[in-house]
Amino acid sequence: AQQRRQYHEKVLDHYSRPRNVGTLDKADSSVGEGLVGAPACGDVMRLHIKVDPATQVISDVRFKTFGCGSAIASSSYLTELVRGMTLEQAGRVKNTEIAKELCLPPVKLHCSMLAEDAIKSAITNYYKKNPNSKPTNLAGR
Ligand code: FES
Ligand code: FES
């Protein structure tokens, strides 16, 4: 008989072989940190991005997630997604894109939201540390 699985195989793959686990040097001005939590369950995600100041491209990215399998898979997939993106592109990543890739069921949507929040928070932190790098064309948006 077909077994009902709680997690899609893509979630299990990221969960068992998470990509880009770890941290970067927070003291480095080219590193932005995002630290976010999901009020619904208390899971926590930390994301570090290293940005090339000249091009605004994310050259490295690491995560540490204290949370459920879907949250770990969402962060793992997020790191693959945003590496090589500009900050502007990464800022437009939506949780629905992550949820779709991982086939997350509705009750697990907030796990992918954690990943969207984490990248947004890391970008905000980077701009805070590098106020002059914030693109002027973002003003008034
Ligand atoms: Fe327990 Fe997310 S609710 S790990
Ligand atoms: Fe809360 Fe997954 S159950 S992040």
ipTM of the prediction? 0.67
* Ligand 1, pocket-test mutation among 41, 65, 111, 113, most atoms within 8 A of CB: 41
Of the residues 73, 85, 99, 111, which is catalytic?
Answer: 111
- How much is the pLDDT for 35? 97
Residue 136 covered by a domain: no
pLDDT per residue as tens digits for the range 90-105: 999 999 999 999 999 9
77 located within any domain: yes
> 36 with 78: CB under 8 angstroms?
no
Contact 48, 33 (CB under 8 A): yes
The radius of gyration of the chain from alpha carbons, rounded to an integer in Å, stands at 15
Residue 62 included in any domain: yes
Task: Give whole-number Cα distances, 76 to 40, 68, 103, in Å.
Answer: 21, 12, 14
CATH code of the domain containing 51: 3.90.1010.10
pLDDT < 70 positions in the chain:
1-6, 136-141
Q: Give the span between the Cα atoms of 59 and 114, in whole angstroms.
A: 21
The protein residue with its alpha carbon nearest to ligand 1, atom 3, reads 41
pTM of the model: 0.89
- Count of the separate structural domains present in the chain: 1
CA pair distance 111, 118, nearest whole angstrom: 11
pLDDT of the residue at 137: 55
Range of the domain at 69: 9-128
pLDDT at 1: 41
